[in-house]
Amino acid sequence: MQEIKDAVWEAADRLRGSVDAMDLPEYVGGLIFLKYVSDTFAGNRSELRARLDTEGYDEDRVEEMLEDREFSGKSAIWVPRNARWPYITARTATLHVGEVINDAMYATMLANPTLRGALPTIFGRGTADQERLAEAVALIGRVRFTSTEERPAPDVLAEAYEFLLGRFGGDSGTPRSVGRLLVGILEPYNGRVYDPACGSGGLLAQAATFMAAHQGDSGDSVVYGQEINERTWRLARMNLAVHGVVSDLGDRWGDTLAHDEHPGLNADFVMAHPPFGVSDWARNEDDPRWTYGVPPPANANFAWLQHAVSKLSERGTAGIVLANGSLSSRSPSERRIRQALVEADLVAAIVALPGQLFHSTRIAACLWVLAKDKPADHRDRILFIDAHDMGTMVSRTERVLDDEDLAKITGAYHAYRNERGFCFSAGLKAVRRHEYDLAPGRYVGATTQPRALTKDLYGVFN
């Protein structure tokens, strides 16, 4: 993974100056996409060739069968001849590199309808220095996208996209361990999954992987999303395509709060990590989504929460990662919305997350779990889980939740939800049961620091 990140960084550095900085994710993201699909396609062909050779077919017949898409259709993405990496690299020294790459993009989209409109075709522009573009191609060509026992190749590509966005696009998406936490809490075994701020598609890809692992086939499941940035929207479509996920990210990119691309959607699961503390957002006081109150113009936290609620089916569940300010804001309008959400009995759990989980901000965050299908004996109850002291520092600035941390948090949530004697046998260190008589109902807290929990969260619902 580090070799891939180094190659991505060096390729972008080669292009810097001759390409607008805002275009770098699209240039480099397009190249690593072509390299990934070419590597995957070549690997599948090698396996098929070996089998055909063993079965005694002559070389000419083998070549003919390998180019028969119906026969050798194992690849989720069919890569035409002029989009394969050896074809591209063989022509970078003698032809206009940008035109070669553009032709590869057009050919790939033509061969794969799900990718139409998703791949960048900006390489033929006069702004990119062709010599530097050829150097970037050579750098990306040094790495190979392969699966390991720990990580499938599509996840490696997804991390490369997140790294690319983090370094050049301003938003690195949702850290993988946070995505695993969301999936572990929601457990989307089947149904419609929606992310209203999908970024490069990481959360949706993880949800689809979970469905595939538990159903055996994610191909019948469709995930839905929306993304405000055109370049990131394209990366998301590429990311989900290489995961073999059928997705609907809307007809185009767009601001979810201003224009909902999925107005009629009833989702079984909503999972999102929207940008923290968005101000001056597209606020319409008459928007029917504001069932519990009109969010203030200075912060979109409760716009995202109410948008999630508006998308939930009658038995739907949502997990929304927000800044901790969403729990303690004293803004009158936010307090009213927060109280209304609680009185409507939509809040199932709050998880206080550790700091330094997010690449792009040091803001402390929490996970809101909203549910329309609370069991009868959970009515007027909210579970608090304080996980702020969990996680392992993997660098000077980055913390991750490891398998043990995730098992403790999700185990605590599901033990509570399933009422297994409210026993946190797999649970948090030194966890005890606490009940608080907080208006308007009865709340349960699981925490290693009950005093801090009371101090920080009492005002949330009082």
Q: Which residues, 6 or more positions from 50, have their beta carbon under 8 angstroms from its beta carbon? A: none
Reading the block at residue 371, the tokens are: 């549910």
- The model carries a pTM of 0.81
Alpha helices (H) along 69-164: 85-91, 97-111, 130-141, 153-164
Bridge-partner residues for 195, per DSSP? 225
What 3-state class would DSSP assign to 156? helix
Q: What is the pLDDT of residue 200?
A: 86
Cβ neighbour number for residue 453 with a 10 Å cutoff: 21
Reading the block at residue 20, the tokens are: 């607008």
Q: Distance (Å, rounded) from C-alpha 290 to C-alpha 122?
A: 40
Q: What is the pLDDT of residue 162?
A: 77
Q: For every one of its 462 residues, what pLDDT tens digit does the chain have, with 9 covering 90 and above?
A: 888 888 888 998 898 888 887 788 889 989 999 999 999 888 888 888 888 788 888 888 877 777 777 665 655 789 999 999 999 999 887 778 999 999 999 999 999 988 888 899 988 876 788 889 999 999 999 888 877 667 777 778 877 877 777 776 555 568 889 999 999 999 999 899 999 999 989 899 999 889 888 875 444 568 999 999 888 898 889 888 888 788 899 989 999 999 999 999 999 999 999 998 888 898 999 999 999 999 999 999 999 999 999 999 999 999 999 998 898 888 899 999 998 998 898 999 999 898 888 876 777 899 999 999 888 777 778 888 888 888 888 888 788 999 999 998 998 888 888 764 443 322 333 233 333 333 333 344 444 333 333 333 433 333
Q: Distance (Å, rounded) from C-alpha 257 to C-alpha 274?
A: 11
Q: What is the pLDDT of residue 441?
A: 35
User: What letters, b where the CB count within 10 A reaches 16 and e where it falls short, cover 191-217?
Assistant: bbbbbbbbbbbbbbbbbbbbbbeeeee
Q: Which DSSP string corresponds to 52-86?
A: HHHTT--HHHHHHHHT-TTTSTTSSS---GGGSHH
Q: Distance (Å, rounded) from C-alpha 194 to C-alpha 187?
A: 13
Do 427 and 446 touch, CB atoms closer than 8 A? Answer: yes
Reading the block at residue 283, the tokens are: 């606020």
